[in-house]
Amino acid sequence: MIRTPHDQPAAFYLPFTRAWEFMAGSVVALLAPCRRAALANGASMAGAALLLAAIAGFGAGDPYPGWRALVPVIGTALIIHARQGAVSRVLSTPPLQFIGDISYSIYPWHWPILLRFASGRAGI
């Protein structure tokens, strides 16, 4: 977070500046899941709200990762920690499971395609 204002590309790409994000996932994996359905549903809904806030609220000109990375990381951690509730039911549907299954294999390809279409140079 401290490095982002000084060298945003390094803050984004260097693993030691993003290691805390992986550690957040590790902590969530060690926690016991929410046992009460109402608490789990609330946590998953709050997590989804944080993810939507990050998607809708952050612009291309906003420095990232920095403090802004807290929003999607905490949102994702809440959803994973809940392990049940409305958000989990939606994410467990076959179409979204399929997207999750193939997401890593398409990861290297999606940005060039999106950037090509977003820039208005799509001449396909």
What is the rounded CA–CA span in Å between residue 26 and residue 36? 22
On whether both 103 and 43 belong to a single domain, the answer is no
What sign does the dihedral 74-80-83-85 (CA atoms) show? positive
On whether both 61 and 110 belong to a single domain, the answer is no
Enter the tokens of residue 12: 């984004």
Residue 1 covered by a domain: no
> Residue 46's pLDDT band (boundaries 50, 70, 90)?
very high
Q: How many C-beta atoms surround the C-beta of residue 27 within 10 A? A: 11
> Phi then psi for 59, rounded to 5 degrees?
-105, 170
Residue 72 covered by a domain: yes
In the chain, the number of structural domains is 2
Query: What does the DSSP 8-state code read for residue 43?
Result: H
What is the rounded CA–CA span in Å between residue 105 and residue 72? 22
On whether both 67 and 82 belong to a single domain, the answer is yes
Residue 2 covered by a domain: no
Residue 3 covered by a domain: no
Residue 119 CB partners (closer than 8 Å, separation 6+): none
Q: Is the separation of the CB atoms in 20 and 1 below 8 Å? A: no
On whether both 67 and 19 belong to a single domain, the answer is yes
Helices 70-82 and 37-57 pack at an angle, to 10 degrees, of 150
Indicate if the pLDDT at residue 49 is higher than 90. yes
On whether both 86 and 32 belong to a single domain, the answer is yes
On whether both 78 and 103 belong to a single domain, the answer is no
Residue 32 covered by a domain: yes
Residue 70 covered by a domain: yes
Give the per-residue pLDDT at 122: 47
Q: What is the pLDDT of residues 64-123, one digit of tens each?
A: 787 888 999 999 999 999 988 889 899 999 999 999 898 878 777 766 776 667 665 544
Domain that holds residue 108: 93-124
CA angle (35, 37, 43) in 5-degree steps: 90
On whether both 26 and 87 belong to a single domain, the answer is yes
On whether both 49 and 110 belong to a single domain, the answer is no
